[in-house]
Structure 1
């Protein structure tokens, strides 16, 4: 098995993570004034890091996303794309964990309240970021936007891309601006399936249902190139495991395994991003993190990043896009060197943190009711 690690990728990745921590600290009072209480600190820490991992994945492709073929350097290996898919998979696992934990702890669930709370949590920031993306596309397109493609794109965006669409406004592709939103389709499908999950959990046949789900996951992972729903199943199983009492030695061993699986995920070259091997590795990591519950994930700086993680996830691509568009007026992007390229990317970090903080406080949090649980017991 081949690995690709070099000091450059490690230094750049570490620098980006550190800068997100530093600049979120500068917005400490603003973020914490709207802080959302969470039961599981380690989940919070993991969510904050996952959002940064997705940024680290996308940053190296800023020039490619603008259609620019740089003649000075190319990419730096697999640590970046692996971190991106890993971050998304962790998001899916976290969703499965948290909502199944709610199912286990609630005698009866008010599903109307649940779906309303999900709409309030997900849609305002999504539509805000979509509006930003559309404005950027309208600003840079050189072709007419009054086309069938535009209408299909608007229909797709308004329905979280459940309606297949070209993601194009004029001659501007929206993929470099909003490619992360494809994951929301899978999130909504999982929300829709939760009532069935709750029924199965309370049924005497719950282990039969679990066996059937695992069998379907194994078949899908073995026959499909991209499988996402299975990661929600990992979260569900992990939530049940987390209820068990675990001794210190097992926690220590799980922490070591989690560290090893993370290193493998970042550096291994041959494993596809969403195949069965990556599913096994990511699932092992998530289970081990849940068992070990490492103290580092409890730190407040990760909790702050967790609160603004959804905004980071949605807003980082438009900000990177605009940064390089602005830079193109001063430098020839096809000729820039690595230092200039990464300087531009790094400059976007404080902007992303600032925008994410403001959108979280004034849009995301505004439509959430912290006094009411996502699932309520009647």
Structure 2
């Protein structure tokens, strides 16, 4: 008989099916997005983002079990759940590289940088500040309304927090490991900002030209992979992911992608599942071979591979539309469901009890992300567009860009 444990994939599969069913209901109609039709992005990317955001949630949900048991925050003792989170982050970085390099190519490097950065600030900022304020409130609840560190140290910590995730939270007013409250998710924003502030400007200004962008993206990708073979690190993994996405964008721009025929999509879907099966046996996504596999998977998905229709489901796209909220809010929701003593005792009683609470947390998470999307994210995006347009009235209004979702 099959034994349910915290780390068996069955928990992920069952909860995912329930979440997709809920997301497909009329309750989530507010997450339908019509603006994507105004862009030339592959619709499968929107569905992919939904699955990636959930993957990171399940990764952290299994990490939380060990954290509650021994107080150590570390990758779960499961290759499946380790890959679920790490691969999702790498694919999110690929989406960022793909989308923004595609914009740079379309404009041959002549990007309205002021509008781009205003858009990024108003896309990333509102939700980031919401979860940061919530984290600070929980820290203050634990430390009390008095200083436990020198004023200069507290000011330094708060200054870092104000910079939209470029610096991750550390100790706050003497409260150690405050980042655990948010499940540590904001670390990816550091790499997103490095891409926006360093990789994208240099790449766009000098290399986003016809007949140049593809050789450049190919060279950047090759160098990053060679670096990973020699010395695999999180930094080199992130840059390899960005250049993977950029290469896929250049390939699509030059017409090198899979065709729309149904039989081609079926073959591509089968190859994707096969590659995922190989990837699921590898202990980490932060090395050369896994990233090469993920780059191949992303190439297929960004070319229109729907993975047997999964990425084109309405539920998948709805979850993709609210993926930034799912990503940022997950730590707070897990904290609320797993940290109170009574709930913690219940959760640690058995694997089925733990997954029951994870299910409730997941339902709360996607509902909260939907509300935040309507109340916070969309107004923030519109405000950014208005400000950018007021500073550059000659620029035509554009559809909002949601970015990667791991991040942004």
Give the alignment's TM-score, normalised by structure 1: 0.85
Whether the aligned pair in 2 keeps the contact of 1:45 and 1:299 (CA below 8 Å) is: yes
Tell me whether 1:173 sits opposite 2:192 in the alignment: no
Larger RCO of the pair (alpha carbons < 8 Å, separation 6+)? 1
Q: Which residue of 2 aligns with 1:185?
A: 190
SS at 1:180 equivalent: coil
- Write out aligned runs for 1:1-378 (5 A): 9-26=8-25, 27-32=27-32, 36-37=35-36, 39=39, 40-66=42-68, 68-69=69-70, 77-106=78-107, 108-141=110-143, 145-148=147-150, 150-163=154-167, 166-178=170-182, 179-192=184-197, 193-199=199-205, 200-202=207-209, 206=213, 209-210=216-217, 212-221=219-228, 222-226=230-234, 227-243=237-253, 244=255, 246-247=258-259, 248=261, 251-266=265-280, 268-269=281-282, 271-294=283-306, 295-326=309-340, 328-329=341-342, 332=345, 336-369=349-382, 371-373=397-399
| Number of equivalent positions | 363
> Which 5+ residue runs of structure 1 have no aligned equivalent?
none
How far is 1:161 from its partner?
A: 4.6
- Cα-Cα RMSD: 3.0
Report the Cα distance in structure 1 between the residues aligned to 2:56 and 2:114, rounded to whole angstroms: 32
SS at 2:303 equivalent: helix
Whether the aligned pair in 2 keeps the contact of 1:113 and 1:374 (CA below 8 Å) is: no
Report the Cα distance in structure 2 between the residues aligned to 1:301 and 1:173, rounded to whole angstroms: 35
Report the Cα distance in structure 1 between the residues aligned to 2:167 and 2:348, rounded to whole angstroms: 39
How far is 1:134 from its partner?
A: 1.4
Give the alignment's TM-score, normalised by structure 2: 0.80
Report the Cα distance in structure 1 between the residues aligned to 2:124 and 2:83, rounded to whole angstroms: 26
SS at 1:228 equivalent: helix
Whether the aligned pair in 2 keeps the contact of 1:254 and 1:291 (CA below 8 Å) is: no
Whether the aligned pair in 2 keeps the contact of 1:58 and 1:81 (CA below 8 Å) is: no
Whether the aligned pair in 2 keeps the contact of 1:130 and 1:157 (CA below 8 Å) is: yes
